[in-house]
């Protein structure tokens, strides 16, 4: 089953307005007309509008890093899916480990956001992954199974097909330590089997599972070559055009 690779850059709380626009323009120049791989960038909320203008007409899509599960109202500091669509977002990252472990988001909250994102016509990039102590005590599959089951709760097969899962072992995020391609492939294959169990094999065959955690140009090709790795969610190395382009080229 061939799935088109999907490589997304998560800028997190980085860049400024000028730097974000410059980065987006540099990516448009380098990979803006690439057809073989889906590419997206996920800037901070406040730069989405300007980055969207910089990406206009290119093949690079835009995503947000989070959203709330209501349309509008008294939710100070929150951003709705409608607002994200309004400024040109196609994707939204949900359940990133920094939101789970720094902000304290629960599986239940993330599921509410997933359901709402899909209802709003956004494509979720749904992050899962275990902590180092969970891996070391042999609980990796228990953790990601719980996260997937909770995250997909109440979502139809038709909607589930619109979700990209990002397997991001927490110990590999921003640490410079990358999971080996064998470690990543093992979990990706197990997550795909889990999707087949929850839904069916036809959905498991098409759903894309990205790897995330210290992906760089030097390790991208090997990771992206694994049969169940369908792309990458890239943090630090998505902040420099040359580094991000190097990763994308690793998938060609
Ligand atoms: C991420 O934030 O999703 C991520 C994978 O970060 P990094 O590439 O910096 O490890």
The closest-lying atom of ligand 1 relative to the alpha carbon of residue 172 is 10
Best of 233, 237, 238, 239 for a ligand 1 pocket test (most atoms within 8 Å of beta carbon): 233
Q: Measure the CA–CA gap between 186 and 10, rounded to whole angstroms.
A: 24
| Residue 12 DSSP label | -
Name the residue with the closest Cα to ligand 1, atom 6: 235
Q: Measure the CA–CA gap between 98 and 102, rounded to whole angstroms.
A: 5
pLDDT of 1 higher than 80: no
| Residue 177 DSSP label | P
Ligand 1: list residues with CB < 6 Å: 10, 168, 173-174, 212-215, 233-237
Name the 3-class secondary structure at 147.
helix
Q: Kindly give the distance from the C-alpha atom of residue 73 to the centroid of ligand 1, in angstroms, as a whole number.
A: 32
Q: Measure the CA–CA gap between 183 and 201, rounded to whole angstroms.
A: 23
Q: Residue 243: which residues within 8 A CB-CB, separation 6 or more?
A: 216, 217, 237
pLDDT of 177 higher than 90: no
Write down the pLDDT at residue 176. Answer: 86
Instruction: Dump pLDDT digits (tens) for 206-235.
Output: 999 999 999 999 999 999 999 999 999 999
**Two tokens at 109?**
């909250």
The closest-lying atom of ligand 1 relative to the alpha carbon of residue 234 is 8
The residue to which tokens 């890093």 are assigned: 65
The residues assigned a catalytic role are: 96, 168
Q: Kindly give the distance from the C-alpha atom of residue 218 to the centroid of ligand 1, in angstroms, as a whole number.
A: 15
Q: Measure the CA–CA gap between 208 and 216, rounded to whole angstroms.
A: 20
C-alpha dihedral over 38, 14, 91, 34, to 10 degrees? -20
pTM of the model: 0.98
Instruction: Dump pLDDT digits (tens) for 7-19.
Output: 999 999 999 999 9
Write down the pLDDT at residue 114. Answer: 98
Q: Residue 103: which residues within 8 A CB-CB, separation 6 or more?
A: none
Nearest to 124 by CA among 97, 100, 96, 92: 92
Write down the pLDDT at residue 145. Answer: 98
Residues 13-38: b if buried by 16+ CB within 10 A, e if exposed: eebeeeebbebbbbbbebbbebeebb
pLDDT of 148 higher than 90: yes
- What DSSP string runs through 180-231? PHHHHHHHHHHHHHHHHHHS-HHHHHH-EEEEESS--HHHHHHHHTSTT--E
Q: Measure the CA–CA gap between 140 and 89, rounded to whole angstroms.
A: 32
Best of 234, 240, 250 for a ligand 1 pocket test (most atoms within 8 Å of beta carbon): 234
Q: Kindly give the distance from the C-alpha atom of residue 51 to the centroid of ligand 1, in angstroms, as a whole number.
A: 20
Instruction: Dump pLDDT digits (tens) for 34-63.
Output: 999 999 999 999 999 999 999 999 999 999
Q: Kindly give the distance from the C-alpha atom of residue 194 to the centroid of ligand 1, in angstroms, as a whole number.
A: 24
């Amino acid at each position: 089953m061939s799935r088109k690779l999907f490589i997304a850059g998560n800028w997190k709380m980085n860049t400024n307005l000028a730097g974000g626009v410059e980065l987006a323009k540099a990516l448009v120049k380098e990979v803006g007309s690439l057809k073989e791989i889906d590419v997206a960038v996920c800037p901070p909320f406040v730069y989405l509008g300007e980055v969207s203008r910089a990406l206009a007409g290119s093949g690079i899509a835009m995503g947000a890093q989070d959203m709330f599960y209501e349309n509008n109202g008294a939710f100070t500091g929150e951003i709705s899916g409608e607002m994200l669509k309004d400024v040109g977002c196609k994707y939204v990252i949900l359940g990133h480990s920094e939101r789970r472990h720094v902000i304290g988001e629960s599986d239940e909250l993330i599921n509410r956001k997933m359901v709402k994102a899909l209802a709003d016509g956004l494509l979720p990039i749904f992050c899962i992954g275990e902590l180092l102590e969970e891996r070391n005590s042999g609980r990796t599959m228990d953790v990601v199974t719980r996260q997937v089951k909770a995250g997909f709760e109440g979502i139809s097969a038709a909607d589930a097909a619109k979700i990209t899962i990002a397997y991001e072992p927490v110990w590999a995020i921003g640490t410079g330590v990358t999971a080996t391609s064998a470690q990543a492939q093992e979990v990706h294959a197990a997550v795909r089997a889990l999707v087949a169990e929850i839904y069916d094999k036809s959905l498991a065959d098409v759903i894309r599972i990205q790897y995330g955690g210290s992906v760089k140009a030097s390790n991208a090709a090997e990771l992206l070559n694994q049969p169940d790795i369908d792309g990458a969610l890239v943090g630090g190395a998505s902040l420099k055009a040359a580094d991000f382009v190097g990763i994308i080229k690793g998938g060609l």
